[in-house]
């Protein structure tokens, strides 16, 4: 992999990731970019023991532009965007409308391909491996920044999810705090360790593998399963067999095996509701331990894993977060985890 850092016209960092060592990236961003006044605040809610980002400047971010004005497409045919080169493999840049910035976290955009009509599921295994390399590199770099407590690499896919740019891309949030999801997991880990002397992630993975009814896909290095208490209609968790704290800890065998497993899962998600349905909307994200400046014991106990889920519960029907979920955080799932796992096995590639 070759990594080529450069700067956009307003000073934001842009990094090209190429599979070839002889790739040359010399294009210059010459856009007269207007100034964006970033007004990010992080506020603490003592009743919930949670942080909330207040980002009024994001109201003016790009919203569903036509394909010929996509800011994530390469610069060619008389149009320019965030990527000044006329073609690229994988590109990462600082978000122009970040949720976190100014020494209190950072937000980046990850473009998986320069093909506007593609999707992650349509990528080759080689390109998926390059994306994994970019995620890993950014995790390492962002984890070293002062003020960063946790790094989350994720993709929102589909207008139903709330995606405002159709180009295949994801994001990386370097949070200035440990997220509620992770804080809850760390408390559960500590309690389980104190009670049993064992690691809770290891216990859950071993139970799912032994029972087998919710396992969707398994290889020598990865296990994908629908969790016993899944919150979403179709939800899959993907774990490496060897527990590591974050993406930087994956060994060569796990890295080599990831593209085939992940692409297969995404393609099954697109088939799960039948051939006449539009692409399945989903959220996929890497859950990683807090950064190395945090509690070393918590990092040692945490298990890197990817969570993939869709808000579609049936053909033409979405799972809306209504009163119980939005108001009280108590999820009610319309699809049994066992049925979801069975369906995801049924739609395996031939």
Residue pLDDT, tens place only, 105-129 = 999 999 999 999 999 999 999 999 9
- The reported pLDDT for the residue numbered 293 is 65
Q: Let me know whether 202 and 85 are in one domain.
A: no
CATH assignment of the domain containing 263: 3.30.428.10
Cα torsion 29, 32, 37, 42 to 10°: value is -10
Statement: residue 294 has pLDDT above 80: no
Q: Catalytic site residue 57? A: no
Domain-terminating residue out of 175, 195, 219: 175
Q: Which domain holds residue 239?
A: 180-346
Give the whole-angstrom CA distance, residue 168 versus residue 155: 9
Statement: residue 218 has pLDDT above 80: yes
How many domains, in total, are found in the chain? 2
Angle, helix 252-271 to helix 337-346, in steps of 10 degrees: 100
Kindly indicate the confidence band of residue 222, based on its pLDDT and cuts at 50, 70 and 90. very high
Which pair of structure tokens corresponds to residue 33? 């970019």
Q: Smallest Cα–Cα separation from 287: which of 185, 144, 166?
A: 185
The answer to whether 91 and 112 are in contact (CB under 8 A) is no
Check residue 89 and report its DSSP letter. S
- The reported pLDDT for the residue numbered 149 is 95
Domain-terminating residue out of 153, 175, 197: 175
- The reported pLDDT for the residue numbered 109 is 98
Statement: residue 63 has pLDDT above 80: no
Residues 302-317 have pLDDT tens digits of: 999 999 999 999 999 9
Domain-terminating residue out of 156, 175, 194: 175
Give the whole-angstrom CA distance, residue 314 versus residue 274: 10
The answer to whether 131 and 111 are in contact (CB under 8 A) is no
Catalytic residue among 35, 51, 64, 169: 169
Query: pTM for the complete prediction?
Result: 0.96
């Amino acid at each position: 992999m070759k990594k080529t850092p450069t700067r956009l016209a307003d000073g934001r960092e842009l990094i090209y990731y190429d599979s070839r060592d002889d790739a040359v990236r010399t294009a210059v961003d010459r856009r007269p970019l207007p100034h964006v006044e970033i007004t990010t605040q992080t506020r603490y809610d003592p009743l919930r023991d949670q942080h909330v980002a207040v980002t009024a400047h994001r109201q003016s971010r790009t919203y569903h532009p036509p394909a010929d004005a996509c800011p994530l497409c390469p610069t060619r045919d008389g149009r320019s965007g965030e990527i000044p080169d006329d073609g690229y493999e994988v590109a990462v840049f600082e978000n122009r409308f970040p949720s976190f910035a100014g020494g209190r976290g950072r937000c980046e955009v990850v473009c998986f391909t320069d093909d506007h009509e593609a999707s992650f599921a349509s990528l080759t295994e080689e390109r998926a491996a390059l994306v994994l390399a970019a995620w890993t590199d950014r995790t390492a770099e962002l984890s070293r920044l002062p003020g960063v407590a946790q790094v989350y690499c994720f993709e929102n896919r589909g207008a139903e999810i709330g995606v405002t740019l159709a180009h295949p891309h994801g994001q990386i949030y370097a949070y200035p705090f440990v997220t509620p999801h992770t804080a809850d997991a760390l408390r559960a880990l500590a309690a389980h360790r104190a009670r049993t002397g064992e690691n809770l992630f290891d216990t859950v993975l071993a139970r799912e593998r032994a029972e087998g009814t919710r396992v969707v896909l398994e290889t020598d290095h990865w296990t994908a399963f629908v969790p016993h208490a899944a919150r979403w209609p179709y939800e899959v968790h993907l774990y490496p067999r060897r527990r590591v704290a974050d993406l930087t800890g994956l060994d060569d065998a796990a890295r080599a095996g990831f593209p085939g497993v992940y692409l297969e899962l995404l393609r099954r998600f697109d088939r799960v509701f039948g051939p006449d349905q539009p692409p399945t909307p989903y959220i996929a994200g890497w859950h990683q331990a807090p950064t190395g400046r945090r509690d070393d014991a918590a990092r040692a106990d945490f298990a890197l894993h990817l969570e993939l889920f869709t808000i579609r519960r049936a053909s033409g029907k979405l799972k809306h977060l209504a009163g119980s979920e939005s108001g009280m955080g108590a999820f009610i799932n319309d699809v049994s985890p066992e049925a979801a796992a069975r369906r995801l096995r049924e739609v395996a590639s031939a």
